[in-house]
Amino acid sequence: MLIKSAEFTISSARVEQCPKGDLPEFAFIGRSNVGKSSLINMLTGRDHLAKTSSTPGKTILINHFLINGDWYLVDLPGYGYAKRGQKQRDELQRMITGYILRREQMMNLFLLIDSRHEPQRIDMEFIEWLGENGIPFSIVFTKTDKLSNGKLTANIKHYLDELSKQWEELPPHFITSSETRLGKEELLGYIDDIIKM
Ligand code: GTP
Ligand code: MG
């Protein structure tokens, strides 16, 4: 799919403030610092569309970006950033779960996982919660440029094996790097297929 235009639309603190209408949208979620905003920039080919930062906790609102005038990419705040106060963490949690459960035009949630790490409990619990609530999602392994090919293959196999213990059928998964643009065509093709369905 060709990205002809990508523009910031609005930042919302609550799902009620998100854009009206019924354009389809695709959202990105995952632990703080996993690379959500960077992935949106990589997919759109706009380096500064979504704000990124090397310190966790950069994105604190629901950000809508209108693509080609007819669908949205949505950048969500990360979860699990320990240095936030409990109150702000609870607020972000409410914002995220409210969006995921109530935003009907959200066609697919991309759950980002850092390919360098062992499966983390917080992500496993989140995946379980998505399943319980029937949310359509897929897994996106990020930062793969930081690993050798051998280590990457082993880590992904290990991750999927762990998931298989809970899931009969695994969700689709993508292997990406915002540095090398690995996975760009696959992700955009997947989105395109869903839009055309
Ligand atoms: P929050 O908004 O804080 O939840 O973080 P985020 O998930 O949006 O992460 P962000 O895109 O801001 O990236 C965090 C850091 O990881 C930045 O320093 C990025 O440059 C770096 N990063 C993101 N993706 C990649 C990648 O594919 N490869 C490498 N090497 N670094 C990456
Ligand atoms: Mg971000």
Tell the CATH topology of 6-196: Rossmann fold (3.40.50)
Ligand 1 pocket by C-beta < 6 Å: which residues?
32-38, 52-54, 56-59, 77-78, 142-143, 145-146, 177-179
Yes or no: say if 73 and 19 are a contact pair by the CB < 8 Å rule.
no
116-154 confidence digits (pLDDT tens) = 999 999 999 999 999 999 999 999 999 999 999 999 999
State the distance from the centre of ligand 2 to the C-alpha of 113, rounded, in angstroms.
Answer: 14
Distance CA 193, CA 184 (A): 14
Q: What is the pLDDT of residue 14?
A: 93
41-93 confidence digits (pLDDT tens) = 999 999 999 999 988 887 889 999 999 999 999 999 998 876 778 888 888 89
Domain boundaries, the chain: 6-196
Q: What is the pTM of this model?
A: 0.96
Measured by CA distance, the residue closest to atom 26 of ligand 1 is 143
Please state, for a pLDDT cut of 70, what percent of the chain lies above it.
Answer: 99
Q: Which of 83, 178, 180 to mutate to test the pocket of ligand 1 (most atoms within 8 A of CB)?
A: 178
Count other C-beta atoms under 10 Å from residue 182's C-beta: 17
